[in-house]
């Protein structure tokens, strides 16, 4: 395996269920870091709590498994103290959008250079299948036995509105696209948000009678379409994929260097 140096092999097989999309995102990320030739000692991964958060234990980077929803502020502290680090911040949908929602929008606003990956499986997996802010109306979950009456956030629109300078969405079915988007997100100078729609066959799939991993991936194949595609134009019900925002804005750590220069000149 080309990325053997990038993982902590002794912890494999990993803890995720058979067919869990989180594994595919980890897989893609490792391929990307390997292909980009990034030095693992320059890599820092910070995660929150939940199934997705376990990802930080598997990569042989500097890793911090923090608290539920708190990956971004912890990562912000690290990045400000060591701006040369390449920060990757994977989060679950509940992690990023519910308990960590405030941190999420402010990290977007600040435009601090890091790559936030929202692993959206539309469910709280670790606690056994409760609905999340990305589940959407009509979903069955252990805490929505009569179907959810909560509308979902559009994570992409939220990131866009909050000022993230790179915003993209893809799925665990579109593995080549995922690699391309992750590469661009890591290369981007500023706050990048990548929403990856991933499958939770154990809770989301089973509870909603949508089948196992294969059927859920087929669902992502059939119900999404690339931005600007004819397919999307023809069917407004499809979920758009691709890069929604890619623009430049002053990066926070660089801006703070200017503050230091100003302060030092003062005395």
> Of 127-135, 137-145, 212-220, 230-238, which part binds another protein (CB under 8 A)?
212-220
CB 242 within 8 A of CB 228: yes
CB 172 within 8 A of CB 200: no
204 binds another protein (CB under 8 A): no
Q: Which residues pair with 5 in a beta bridge?
A: none
Q: Which of residues 87-146 bind another protein (CB under 8 A)?
A: 102-103, 105-106
183 binds another protein (CB under 8 A): no
- Site residue total, another protein (CB under 8 A): 76
Among 93, 95, 113, 177, the residue binding another protein under the rule CB under 8 A is 177
Among 33, 34, 35, 77, the residue binding another protein under the rule CB under 8 A is 77
Which conformational region is residue 256 in: left (phi greater than 0), alpha (psi within -120 to 50 degrees), or beta? alpha
18 binds another protein (CB under 8 A): yes
Among 36, 42, 143, 255, the residue binding another protein under the rule CB under 8 A is 42
Among 127, 130, 160, 179, the residue binding another protein under the rule CB under 8 A is 179
> Of 26-34, 133-141, 227-235, 242-250, which part binds another protein (CB under 8 A)?
26-34
264 binds another protein (CB under 8 A): yes
Long-range contact pairs involving 128-137 (C-beta distance under 8 Å, separation at least 24)? 128/203, 129/202, 129/203, 129/204, 129/207, 132/92, 132/93, 132/94, 132/97, 132/98, 133/93, 133/94, 133/97, 133/98, 133/101, 134/93, 134/94, 134/97
Please state the closest distance from residue 254 (CB atom) to another protein, in A: 13
Of 104 and 153, which has the nearer Cβ to another protein?
104
Among 74, 97, 119, 155, the residue binding another protein under the rule CB under 8 A is 74
1 binds another protein (CB under 8 A): yes
Of 57 and 240, which has the nearer Cβ to another protein?
57
Structure tokens at 90: 């994977």
188 binds another protein (CB under 8 A): no
37 binds another protein (CB under 8 A): no
The rounded distance, in Å, linking the Cα atoms of 199 and 206 is 11
Among 145, 209, 237, 267, the residue binding another protein under the rule CB under 8 A is 267
Of 166 and 173, which has the nearer Cβ to another protein?
173
CB 256 within 8 A of CB 80: yes
Range list of H helices, the chain: 21-36, 71-81, 93-94, 101-110, 155-162, 175-187, 206-207, 213-222, 230-234, 252-266
Say what angle helices 21-36 and 175-187 make with each other, to 10 degrees: 50
Please state the closest distance from residue 154 (CB atom) to another protein, in A: 21
Q: Which of residues 232-261 bind another protein (CB under 8 A)?
A: 256, 259-260
């Amino acid at each position: 395996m080309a990325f053997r140096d990038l993982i902590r092999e002794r912890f494999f097989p990993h803890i995720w269920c058979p067919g869990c999309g989180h594994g595919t995102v980890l897989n893609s990320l490792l391929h990307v870091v390997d292909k980009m030739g990034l030095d693992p000692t320059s890599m820092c991964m910070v995660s929150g709590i939940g199934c997705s958060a376990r990802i930080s234990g598997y990569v042989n980077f500097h890793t911090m498994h923090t608290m539920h929803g708190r990956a971004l502020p912890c990562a912000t502290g690290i990045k400000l103290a060591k701006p040369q680090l390449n920060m990757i911040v994977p989060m679950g949908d509940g992690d990023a959008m519910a308990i960590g929602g405030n941190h999420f929008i402010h990290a977007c606003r600040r435009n601090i250079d890091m790559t936030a990956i929202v692993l959206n499986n539309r469910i709280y997996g670790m606690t056994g299948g409760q609905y999340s802010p990305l589940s959407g109306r009509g979903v069955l979950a252990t805490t929505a036995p009569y179907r959810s009456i909560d509308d979902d956030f559009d994570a992409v629109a939220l990131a866009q509105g909050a000022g993230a300078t790179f915003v993209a969405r893809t799925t665990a079915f579109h593995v080549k696209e995922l690699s391309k988007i992750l590469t661009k997100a890591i290369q981007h100078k500023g706050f990048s948000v990548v929403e990856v729609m991933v499958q939770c066959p154990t809770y989301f799939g089973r509870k909603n009678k949508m089948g196992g991993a294969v059927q859920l991936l087929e669902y992502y194949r059939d119900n999404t379409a690339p931005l600007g595609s004819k397919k999307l134009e023809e069917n407004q019900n499809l979920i758009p994929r691709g890069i929604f925002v890619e623009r430049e804005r002053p990066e926070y750590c660089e801006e703070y260097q200017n503050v230091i220069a100003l302060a030092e000149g003062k005395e």
